[in-house]
Each structure stands twice: as C-alpha cells, then as structure tokens.
Amino acid sequence: MSADHAYLSIYGLNESIESIATVIENALFRANFPDIELAQLKEERRQKLMTQVELASKIGSSQPRIAKAENGDDSVSIELLIRAMLATGATPKDIGQIIASIG
C-alpha cells in the first residue's frame, strides 16, 4: 500500500468516525429537544398565517418534513428544526437559550 493510499484510507476512516459522531450527537440532542419548542414552531407558523407548504418552500424543505418536525418525529434533523424556527421568527439568541436549557 502506498503512502497516499494509506493516508486516504485513514482520512476516510476519520470522516466516517466524524459522521458517526455527528449522527450520535444529533440523536442525543434531538432526544432532549424540548417538545414545547416543537409545539411553539407550529403556533408561530400559524400566527404568521403560513402554511406548512409555504414554510417548507421558505427553508428549502418539503411539507411532509415540516409536518414531521411539528409532530416531534425523531427523523427530522436539528438543522431543519433550527431553520424552521428562524423562518418563523425565532432569533439566534432564542435558539441559543433553548440549546443551553437542554444541558
């Protein structure tokens, strides 16, 4: 095995480990994400007279993903939740406070 090939193999392994760590981190965080914030997401969207389709379009997602987010489906990424919260009026400070409260 050449040095370049060994480096690429190790680099690929590191990427895989980082990906797995990210998945685990997201799962642990998602499991602790306050359900009240998910309910608030739906309420904020409704107060802005925004449909799930409109919110999905605004954040580059789909209506079924928004429905899953609002219903607390564990398959929804943290990134999508945060983008949806920002699109419905939450500030980065609000999101930071939510994350800090999970502790």
Would the pTM count as exceeding 0.85? no
Res. 67 pLDDT band, cuts 50 70 90: very high
Q: Cβ contacts of residue 9 below 8 Å, gap of 6+?
A: 1
Contact 74, 29 (CB under 8 A): no
Average pLDDT score over residue span 53-81: 90
* Domain segments of the chain as ranges: 1-32, 34-103
Report pLDDT for 4. Answer: 46
* Closest listed residue to residue 27, CA positions, set 78, 96, 99: 78
Consecutive H or E run containing 91: none
Report whether pLDDT(62) > 60: yes
Considering only residues 38 and 60, tell me which one the structure prediction assigns the higher pLDDT. Answer: 60
Class of domain 34-103: mainly alpha
**Secondary structure of 45-79 in HEC code, one letter for each residue:** HHHCCCCHHHHHHHHCCCHHHHHHHHCCCCCCCHH
